[in-house]
């Protein structure tokens, strides 16, 4: 664990080890086979509890880690306790990966048993491959077999995460059909080559809605999953809370110990939500850029702005740095999106600048939008 804590991004089971231990120590609920926690405790881990838990003489607060549809979390947990896989879909930056990591860490104790889907993902990467030196020396054997994350998940009875499944070719995706149906993997190279999945095995897959047309899943594979759509945050206060908490963690991990400016966070959250939704809080319609205006992008803008201000300006964060980094986030896919951001400043920010102090400072930095 000490080694993991020195990494840039510790796994969820390490980052929240105290919370997991506290919940497990007081978990009296019924656990599905091979689960480390009951469904109720898994839900509490992800959504948080009102009161802290006592563990080894210490009061451990169980924090809320996912902001959105609480009932979706319950459905996702119940799906994993059943015989169907869980498919998390949504726009980029809606915390699909984070949710899959939290679920895996709570249920199986590890979130690192993962397949990363790409256009180059092959069937060998999903099922198993071979140590060819041993294969040539001794022939096909379990010792020569190199297990994949899917093989590991089946043999140990733990969750396997499959990121960006729609980026994989059709024939690679369809390898999962028989495994999800029968919980069996055939290994024809071995005489007794059948791997039966242990209880607790399941798959959490993720896919971006914007990637839907890359490699559309077959109907047969879709039937093996329960689909849950994670919608973008649609409440400014909630989005601001996420930006604040995540930016604080990232900045601390980067060695930048500065206070988060909540007023700047609220302006950033408001801007991103209004551009994403195509409507201001006053009810006026505005154009939306083609770029993904996700909460994850907003966190990145705040962190980049704060770090730039810290290293080059000797202060916590400034509006000029915020607008500079926001332009980089908005104008990614189409240069015309700069005009949409400029129009937003000219029409929306300008009006608010007349009555709200910090919005005036924000408006004065529109000069960076070219």
**Parent domain of 253:** 236-368
Q: Are residues 56 and 179 in the same domain?
A: yes
Q: What is the DSSP-derived secondary structure letter of residue 280?
A: -
> How, if at all, do strands 58-60 and 53-55 pair?
antiparallel
Residue 272, CB half-sphere, CA atoms under 13 Å: how many?
A: 35
323 SS3 class: helix
Examine the fold and report which residue of 230, 265, 287 is the final residue of a domain before the chain moves on. Answer: 230
Q: What is the pLDDT of residue 6?
A: 55
Examine the fold and report which residue of 179, 202, 230 is the final residue of a domain before the chain moves on. Answer: 230
Separation of alpha carbons 7 and 2, rounded Å: 9
Q: What is the pLDDT of residue 68?
A: 83
The parts of the chain modelled with pLDDT lower than 50 are 1-5
342 SS3 class: helix
Q: Are residues 268 and 362 in the same domain?
A: yes
How many helices (DSSP H) and strands (DSSP E) are in the chain? 19, 11
Q: Are residues 257 and 219 in the same domain?
A: no
Query: Which residues are 85's β-sheet partners?
Result: 225
Separation of alpha carbons 199 and 33, rounded Å: 6
Smallest CA-to-CA distance from 322 within 280, 362, 352 is with 362
Report residue 73 CA to chain centroid gap. 14
Q: Are residues 14 and 158 in the same domain?
A: yes
Q: What is the pLDDT of residue 4?
A: 45
Q: What is the pLDDT of residue 7?
A: 63
Q: Are residues 355 and 282 in the same domain?
A: yes
Separation of alpha carbons 267 and 237, rounded Å: 10
**Are 108 and 37 contacting, i.e. CB atoms less than 8 angstroms apart?**
no
Q: Give the CATH number of the domain where residue 208 resides.
A: 3.40.50.300
**Are 74 and 213 contacting, i.e. CB atoms less than 8 angstroms apart?**
no
Q: Are residues 210 and 258 in the same domain?
A: no
Residue listed under structure tokens 């091979």: 34
For the entire predicted model, the pTM comes to: 0.87
Number of structural domains in the chain: 2
For the segment 257-309, what is each residue's pLDDT rounded down to a tens digit? Answer: 899 999 999 999 999 999 999 999 989 999 999 888 889 999 999 999 999 99
Neighbours of 358 (CB within 10 A): 15
Examine the fold and report which residue of 176, 208, 230 is the final residue of a domain before the chain moves on. Answer: 230
Q: Are residues 69 and 88 in the same domain?
A: yes
Neighbours of 28 (CB within 10 A): 7
Q: Are residues 213 and 107 in the same domain?
A: yes
Q: Are residues 211 and 290 in the same domain?
A: no
Q: Are residues 94 and 221 in the same domain?
A: yes
Q: What is the pLDDT of residue 3?
A: 45
Q: What is the pLDDT of residue 356?
A: 74
Q: Are residues 172 and 198 in the same domain?
A: yes
Q: Are residues 308 and 164 in the same domain?
A: no
**Are 208 and 90 contacting, i.e. CB atoms less than 8 angstroms apart?**
yes
């Amino acid at each position: 664990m000490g080694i993991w804590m020195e990494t840039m991004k510790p796994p969820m089971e390490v980052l929240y080890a105290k919370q997991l231990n506290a919940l497990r120590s007081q978990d009296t609920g019924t656990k599905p086979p091979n689960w480390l926690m009951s469904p109720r405790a898994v839900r509490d881990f992800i959504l948080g509890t009102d009161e802290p838990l006592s563990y080894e003489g210490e009061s451990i607060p169980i924090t809320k880690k996912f902001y959105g549809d609480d009932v979706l979390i319950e459905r996702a947990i119940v799906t994993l306790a059943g015989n169907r896989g869980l498919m998390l879909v949504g726009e980029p930056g809606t915390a699909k990966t984070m949710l899959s990591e939290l679920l895996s860490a709570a249920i199986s104790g590890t979130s690192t048993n993962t397949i990363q889907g790409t256009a180059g993902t092959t069937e060998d990467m999903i099922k198993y491959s071979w140590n060819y030196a041993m294969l040539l020396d001794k022939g096909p054997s379990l010792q020569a077999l190199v297990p994949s994350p899917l093989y590991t998940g089946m043999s140990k009875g733990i969750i396997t995460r499959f990121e960006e499944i729609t980026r994989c070719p059709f024939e690679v995706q369809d390898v999962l059909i028989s495994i999800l149906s029968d919980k069996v993997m055939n290994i024809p190279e071995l005489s007794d080559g059948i791997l039966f999945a242990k209880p607790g095995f399941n798959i959490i897959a993720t896919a971006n809605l914007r990637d839907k047309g890359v490699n559309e899943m077959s109907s047969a594979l879709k039937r093996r999953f329960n689909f849950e759509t994670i919608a973008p945050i649609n409440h400014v206060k909630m989005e601001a809370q996420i930006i604040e908490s995540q930016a604080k963690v990232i900045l601390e991990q980067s060695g930048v110990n500065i206070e988060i400016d909540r007023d700047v966070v609220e302006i950033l959250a408001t801007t991103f939500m209004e551009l994403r939704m195509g409507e201001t809080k006053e009810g006026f319609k505005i154009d939306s850029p083609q770029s993904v205006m996700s909460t994850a992008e907003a966190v990145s803008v705040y962190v980049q702005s704060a770090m730039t201000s810290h290293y080059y300006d000797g202060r916590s964060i400034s509006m000029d740095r915020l607008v500079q980094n926001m332009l980089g986030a908005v104008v990614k896919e189409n240069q015309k999106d700069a005009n949409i951001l400029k129009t937003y400043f000219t029409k929306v920010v300008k009006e608010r600048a007349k009555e709200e102090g910090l919005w005036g400072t924000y408006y004065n930095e529109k000069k960076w939008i070219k």
